[in-house]
Amino acid sequence: METPRGKPDLLIVDDDPLISDTLNFVLGRDFSVYVAESRAQVKSLLRQLDNPPQLALIDLGLPPTPHRPDEGFKLINELIAYSPSIKILVLSGQNDETNARHARTLGALEFIAKPCEPEKIKALLLKSLQIRDAEISAQSGDGGMVGKSLPVEKLRQQITQYANAPFPVLIEGESGSGKELIASALHRQSQRASKPFLALNCAAISPNLVEPTLFGYSKGAFTGATTSRSGYFEDGKDGSLLLDEIGELPLELQAKLLRVLENGEYQRVGETQSRVSNARVIAATNRDMRQELRNGRFRADLYHRLSVFTINAPPLRDLNEDKCLLLDHFRDFYSHQAAVKAFDLDTRAMALWLEYSFPGNVRELRNIVIRLTTKYAGRQVNAEQLQAELDMESMEIDLPGLPIGQDFKSVLEAAKKHLQAQKNFNLDLTLQQWEKGYVEAALLITQGNLSQAAKLLGIHRTTLYSRMQNYGTPGDPESPPQ
Phi-psi region at 170: left, alpha or beta (left = phi > 0; alpha = psi -120 to 50): beta
The CATH number covering residue 261 comes to: 3.40.50.300
In a domain, 476, yes or no: no
| Same domain assignment for residues 259 and 224 | yes
Q: Has this prediction a pTM greater than 0.85?
A: no
- Taking only the tens place, the pLDDT of each residue in 173-224 is 998 888 999 999 999 999 999 999 999 988 877 788 889 999 999 998 888 7
Among residues 312, 341, 363, the one where a domain terminates is 312
Cβ-Cβ contacts under 8 Å for 482 (sequence gap 6 or more): none
CA-nearest of 368, 300, 295, 375 to 343 is: 375
pLDDT band at residue 419 under the 50/70/90 scheme:
low
In a domain, 482, yes or no: no
Among residues 139, 166, 197, the one where a domain terminates is 139
| Same domain assignment for residues 308 and 323 | no
CB 264 within 8 A of CB 257: no
Alpha-carbon distance of 46 to 80, in angstroms, equals 13
| Same domain assignment for residues 120 and 191 | no
Q: Read off the DSSP letter of residue 397.
A: -
| Same domain assignment for residues 259 and 364 | no
Q: Is the pLDDT of residue 396 over 70?
A: no
The CATH number covering residue 48 comes to: 3.40.50.2300
In a domain, 195, yes or no: yes
In a domain, 241, yes or no: yes
The residue with greater pLDDT, 157 or 99, is 157
Which residue range forms the structural domain that includes residue 445?
A: 408-471
Helices (H), 49-96: 70-82
| Same domain assignment for residues 301 and 156 | yes
Alpha-carbon distance of 474 to 467, in angstroms, equals 11
Alpha-carbon distance of 239 to 251, in angstroms, equals 25
Instruction: Name the domain count of the chain.
Output: 4
In a domain, 4, yes or no: no
| Same domain assignment for residues 155 and 280 | yes
CB 352 within 8 A of CB 324: no
| Same domain assignment for residues 166 and 192 | yes
- Taking only the tens place, the pLDDT of each residue in 5-50 is 579 999 999 999 999 999 999 999 999 999 999 999 998 888 788 7
CB 215 within 8 A of CB 233: yes
In a domain, 144, yes or no: no
